Every structure is written in structure tokens, then in C-alpha cells.
Amino acid sequence: MNAKEIIARRVALELENGNVVNLGIGLPTMVVNYLPAGVDVTLQSENGFVGLGSLTGAADPNLVNAGGQPCGVIPGAAMFDSATSFMLIRGGHVDVTVLGGLEVDQSGNLANWMVPGKMVPGMGGAMDLVTGAKKVIIAMEHCAKDGSSKILQECRLPLTGKGVVDLIITELGVFRVTKEGLVCEEIADGVDVEFVKTRTEATLIISPDLKPMQNIS
């Protein structure tokens, strides 16, 4: 499995039956393809519907998700305007949002919407999601393309939200934001704690109950 699939499979284990879930663009959209048997969630798309279907099924070219990808819907799906969509988000009706990240720090701050000097299409709904969703999971590769850590002591890019992240899942492990700091709870097969520390700028607290990273085979 490649890094993105490892991450998506592990994130899927965090979702519970009956959850209303928003998946951000990019890697998070893969999560729906790996839901465990018996887990039924309702996927909300911020561009105006609930009942988003798996991207591996038959996609309707006239229907796209928030990232502009052709997608499908499940029976019972409902369409509505943007105002209603963001009423659901801002009103606290989304149980979990899964988003990508450019940077996350040990205090749970998130930067994922812009890099100064580069063109961006807009901030999208991320700022609303991180404040409105009950649980915020960041699904991202552990390091940037240049090898630098994306899990920092303090974010350097403009923030999407301050103190909003609950859980970070990368191909190297699972990290929970707590009042005491960033706790490494799970570690991927084939790597050790020291390797993870060398790839992480943030100060890690190693859980006394550290266990192998769960996955869906």
C-alpha cells in the first residue's frame, strides 16, 4: 500500500455507524472507499448535498463533490443550497470532518488553505468545518515533498483554525492533541519511535500504551 492508502484506511476506522461526515478534497475523499463492514455513515458535501457515494462506483459527470470530482450519491441523498449546507456545518450537525493539512502543530493549530505568494482558489469551507464539526481529523503525509516535517512545534503558514485539531493520522502513526501535548498513540509497521521523532519537529509524548497502527487489510 502507498502512503495515502495507509492513511485513508486508518482514518476509516475512526468513523462510527450513524456519523455525519465531511471529507475534504484530496486524500480525505479516499476514506469512504475503506469503511469497515457494518459502518454506515452519511457523507456531507459542502457544495450542497448529503448522501455522497463512493468514488469507486459509477460517477455522474453532472454531479461533483466539493473538490470538483465527478461522484455519485446513495439512495436517499438530498440536495440543497450553499446556505443550508453551511448551516449544517456551522450549526454543529457534522460529527466528523477529515481534512488535509499543510502544517499542524503540537497545540492543535492547523494551516491548510494557503501558502503566501502562491495563487489559491479561495479558503473554501475549511475554516467553517474546523470550528463547526464535533471532531477534526487531519489526514496527511508526515513530511512535505522536500522532506521537511509537516507536524511542527508552531505553524508558520496562515492558520485555518487555532486549537481545532483532535487527531492527526499519517503513514507513520496516529497522534492525538491533548492538553499535555501531542501524544503518539500508534506507530506504523516497520518503523520505530526514534524514526518517527526524526521526522517530526513537534515534541512528541509517547503513549505508555503505544501500539501498532491499526489498519483494514
Q: What is the pLDDT of residues 78-118, one digit of tens each?
A: 999 989 999 999 999 999 999 999 999 999 999 998 887 77
Average pLDDT value for the chain:
92
> Exposure pattern of 45-70 as b/e (b: 16+ CB <10 Å)?
bbbbbbbbbbbeeebeeebebbbeee
Structural domains in the chain plus CATH codes = 3-212 (3.40.1080.10)
CA distance 65 to 128: 17
pTM of the model: 0.94
CA distance 201 to 154: 9
**In this predicted model, which residue has the larger pLDDT, 1 or 201?**
201
Catalogue the active-site residues. Answer: 46
Q: Which three cell numbers stand for residue 148?
A: 521537511
CA distance 215 to 104: 23
